[in-house]
């Protein structure tokens, strides 16, 4: 599909862009353009464009506003030392996007169109990509855009990609975070949408996240919906455990998001000769293994933070520390290896990098 390119008539000035890039934070500063493709049952996917970032006109009866047919992705563009720009595994994001669309009964966007939309937006807004440890966060998303109030899959959709320059997720480096174990709320059940990257999953996690903050914690971790024992994932990240024998484990897929960072970590750990198990792990085991020293590290992972060490776990049943509350060498080593691949500083053993230019 060929994208029509319509550069904005009023781009951000170099002075204003430089000021915004000096401290962009996360997800509050946006680039000048967006990519957009429309769908209806008669035409299929059509009208692919890159144009000025602007508001959507929304009818009050728009399907997404009433029945939440909506999915999204998150990936980044990284500036290499030679001035070029890398994408990291955009094909994996495109595949997961199609899988999410299938589960939500939405039209499935061809993977090639997804990747082209991302690349075209990166090309036109290249000047917005920060240097150093910054990156351009890309948010592809799709909403149901048919105007109707009947309960059925929409016949029309809007796919779009917007971009936001972001700095390093951590000020002063990745520090260990504290985790609140949610005993009152669950995130997903078998047969539900836990493996789908849809807004509803994140909305459902917000009350539990607020509870975590009320207890002085940075993040919430959810247990399974049936027995309320098995660790599943954080509000927006997957989780790993590192043991004294050097092996790693992570909760199995099914009710959790199949994270691309999660999959990359599994591959890199196996490359290093480490055993990685995808297996159920209870909160009781976590507490006992941390106390005995069998568990050496725990960390969360995702696109935004890459890897975040977990130092303290809190719950209504009591608190415990991991590795004395400090970041561990396995987590930090994997983080450096992954970041170096993303920025093109080291060998890419799995051909994960796509050079946009």
Q: What is the mean pLDDT of residues 261-289?
A: 98
Choose the weakest-confidence range: 47-61, 168-182, 233-247, 307-321: 168-182
Contact between residue 163 and residue 36 where contact means Cβ atoms under 8 Å apart: no
Residues 121 and 188 in one domain: no
Q: Which domain holds residue 158?
A: 4-166
Q: CA 291, CA 202: separation in Å to the nearest integer? A: 32
End position of a domain, from candidates 166, 185, 200 = 166
Q: What is the CA radius of gyration of the chain?
A: 21
Would you tell me how many other CB atoms lie within 10 Å of the CB of residue 299?
30
CATH of the domain at 154: 3.30.470.10
Domain boundary among 119, 139, 166: 166
Shared-domain flag, residues 334 and 227: yes
Q: What is the pLDDT of residue 143?
A: 98
Whether the Cβ atoms of residue 357 and residue 85 lie closer than 8 Å to each other: yes
159 and 218, same domain (yes or no): no
In a domain, 153, yes or no: yes
| Torsional sign, CA 198, 193, 119, 27 | positive
Q: Does residue 149 share a domain with residue 71?
A: yes
What pLDDT does 171 receive?
61
Map residue 156 onto helix, strand or coil.
Answer: strand
Domain shared by 48 and 187, yes or no: no
Q: Which residues contact 213 (CB under 8 A, 6 or more apart)?
A: none
For residue 173, what pLDDT is reported?
Answer: 64
Asked if 254 and 285 sit in the same domain, the reply is yes
Domain identity same for 67 and 39: yes
- Total domains in the chain come to 2
- At 64, which helix (H) or strand (E)? helix 63-67
Question: pTM for this one?
Answer: 0.96
Average pLDDT over residues 80-84: 95
Residues 153, 12 share a domain: yes
Q: What angle do CA 143, 300, 261 make, to 5 degrees?
A: 55
How confident is the model at residue 168, as a pLDDT? 76
Q: What is the pLDDT of residue 153?
A: 98
Question: Are both 157 and 249 inside the same structural domain?
Answer: no
Give the per-residue pLDDT at 27.
92
Share of the chain above pLDDT 90, in %: 95
> Smallest Cα–Cα separation from 153: which of 104, 211, 93, 97?
104
pLDDT in tens, 122-177: 999 999 999 888 999 999 999 999 999 999 999 999 999 999 999 877 665 688 99
Q: Give 287-317 pLDDT, tens digit per residue.
A: 999 999 999 999 999 999 999 999 999 999 9
Question: Are 289 and 181 part of one and the same domain?
Answer: yes
Average pLDDT along the chain: 96
pLDDT band at 3 (very low <50, low <70, confident <90, very high): very high
What are the angstrom distances between the C-alpha of 246 and each of 66, 71, 299? 48, 37, 14
Mark which of 138, 166, 194 sits at the end of a domain.
Answer: 166
Note whether residue 356 is domain-resident. Answer: no
Closest C-alpha among 172, 228, 180 to residue 205: 180
């Amino acid at each position: 599909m060929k994208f029509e390119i319509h550069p904005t008539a009023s781009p951000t000035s170099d002075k204003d862009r430089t000021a915004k890039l000096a401290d962009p934070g996360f997800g509050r500063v946006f680039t000048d353009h967006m990519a957009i493709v429309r769908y209806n049952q008669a035409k299929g996917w059509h009208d692919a464009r890159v144009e000025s970032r602007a508001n959507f006109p929304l009818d009050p009866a728009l399907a997404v506003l009433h029945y939440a047919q909506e999915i999204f992705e998150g990936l980044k563009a990284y500036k290499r030392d030679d001035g070029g720009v890398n994408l990291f595994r955009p094909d994996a994001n495109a595949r997961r996007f199609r899988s999410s669309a299938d589960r939500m009964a939405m039209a499935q966007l061809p993977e090639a169109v997804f990747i082209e939309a991302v690349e075209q937006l990166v090309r036109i807004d290249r000047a917005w990509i920060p240097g150093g440890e910054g990156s351009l966060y890309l948010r592809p998303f799709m909403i149901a855009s048919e105007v109707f109030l009947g309960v059925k899959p929409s016949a029309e959709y809007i796919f779009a990609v917007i971009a936001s320059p972001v700095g390093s997720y951590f000020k002063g480096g990745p520090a260990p975070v504290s985790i609140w174990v949610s005993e009152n709320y669950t995130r997903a059940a078998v047969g539900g949408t836990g493996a789908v990257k849809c807004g509803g999953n994140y909305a459902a996690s917000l009350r539990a996240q607020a509870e975590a903050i009320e207890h002085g914690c940075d993040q919430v971790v959810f247990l399974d919906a049936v027995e309320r024992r098995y660790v599943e994932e954080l509000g927006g990240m997957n989780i790993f455990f590192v043991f004294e024998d050097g092996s790693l484990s992570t909760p199995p897929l099914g009710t959790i998001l199949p994270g691309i960072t999660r999959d990359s970590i599994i591959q890199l750990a196996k490359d290093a000769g480490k055993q990685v198990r995808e297996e159920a792990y209870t909160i009781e085991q976590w507490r006992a293994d941390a106390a005995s020293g069998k568990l050496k590290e725990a960390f969360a992972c995702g696109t935004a933070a890459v890897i975040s060490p977990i130092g303290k776990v809190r719950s209504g049943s009591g608190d415990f520390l991991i590795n004395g509350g400090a970041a561990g060498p396995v987590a930090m080593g994997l983080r450096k290896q992954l970041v170096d691949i993303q920025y093109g500083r080291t060998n890419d053993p799995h051909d994960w990098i796509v050079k946009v230019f």
